[in-house]
A and B are shown apart, each in its own frame.
Chain A
Amino acid sequence: MVVYSFYIFDRHAECIYKRRWLPRPASIPGSKSSRPTSEASAQATSAPALLGQSARTTDDDAKLIFGTVFSLRNMVRKLGGEDDNFVTYKTSQYKLHYYETPTNIKFVMLTDIKSPSMRIALQQIYINLYVEYVVKNPLSPVEHPGGVGVNNELFEESLEQFVTRVLS
């Protein structure tokens, strides 16, 4: 299975972390540095010409994804009751997985359509990576405006490992 991208939104609807994976990084020489980098720096070095994002930036993408997920979540709660939660949706091209913690942090992952349910995986990212490396980090702020505190090396590296080793 292929993971296309991963987003974390905090309870103020702000995107505090985003990361995209290209499907075959090996075939693009020089597009991938040895150390995993956050989206912002990866964009600056290699992506603009390559990804061909015509008018929309990745920032806008994150906002669109949040809007979608937010509307669908509200719709599902209206129909299924307050304790219902939407898990995943699928289009002809991709699948979006959604997990929300009790503290309203939203984890979103876009994968290919053949991938199985990723609810457990997202939960594990929250429990084993986010809580361990972001929440328990004494230097990390309580809120993460602009992604401060989430883009630390330990979290990014272990996320990278989790996605490349565990999920593929």
Chain B
Amino acid sequence: MTVFSLIIINKAGGLIYQREFQPGLRKLSTNDYLVLAGTFHGVHAITRTITPKLPYLATTPASNTSTTTSSTPTSATALASPSGTTTPIPNTTSTAATYMYPIPGVAATGLDSLETDKFRLTCFQTLTGTKFLLFTDPHMANVEPVMRKIYEFYADFVMKNPFYQLEMPVRCEAFDRNLNGWLRGRT
């Protein structure tokens, strides 16, 4: 298993952490990484808005009353979006909501994972809107536990660091050390 690099983007789209663990991806300048973080932040928001919207009648039988059917998508969209941007909420004043998402009951998220010929990018967004981008080998299985552990390290060594200022670049030696050690131990 190969983890190429990790990028952390704050809720405003600013780059706050970037580390390379194993060679494999091209190196960019600091400025390019900042641009990349900002671009990804924007694209992530757009990928959520282009979620296909299915007409209501398509999957729910017509015999259902409109009151029961209209309650599902509003509750689904209400718990959406940790990043604070608004999700389209169906017009509830009319008799029935006009559309639903392909998987009702699941909040629409932005890009979760992206695959290319050379790497796989997994994005994890915390409830507060911070995004963790993990670049791994495209064939690597079980990215989830790695991401979870990284989030744990972040919580332990960055968020609990009394000198860390929120939304600012992460410069915590303990975070670096533990992350490096743990990832090396796994390979």
Contact = CB atoms under 8 A, between A and B. Distances in A.
A28 B58 contact: yes
B58 A23 contact: yes
B101 to A, nearest CB: 5
Contacts of A75: 36, 39-40, 43
B102 interface: yes
Contacts of A113: 103
A28 B28 contact: no
Nearest to A76: B116
Contacts of A65: 50
B118 A80 contact: yes
Interface string A47-86: 0001111101000010011011001100110111101111
Contact of B28 (A56, A79, A83, A90): A79
Given A71-B43, A75-B40, A80-B26, A94 B51 contact: yes
B52 interface: yes
A87 B121 CA distance: 12
Nearest to B102: A93
A28 B55 contact: yes
B57 A50 contact: yes
Interface residues of A, number: 43
A129 to B, nearest CB: 22
Given A91-B47, A112-B102, A22 B113 contact: no
A3 to B, nearest CB: 10
A94 B52 contact: yes
Nearest to B57: A28
Contacts of B57: 27-28, 50
Majority secondary structure of chain A interface residues (helix, strand, loop or mixed): mixed
Interface stretch (B104-112, B144-152, B173-181): B104-112
Contacts of B115: 86-89
B47 A92 contact: no
Contacts of A86: 114-116
Interface in B12-51: 25-26, 28, 32, 36, 39-40, 42-43, 46-51
Nearest to B98: A52
A2 interface: yes
Nearest to A46: B55
A93 B51 contact: yes
Contacts of A61: 50
B121 to A, nearest CB: 8
Given A2-B102, A51-B99, A52-B98, A71 B55 contact: no
A91 B49 contact: no
20 contacts: A4-B102, A23-B54, A23-B102, A27-B58, A64-B49, A75-B36, A75-B40, A80-B117, A80-B119, A84-B117, A84-B119, A88-B115, A89-B115, A90-B114, A91-B48, A92-B106, A93-B102, A93-B103, A93-B108, A113-B103
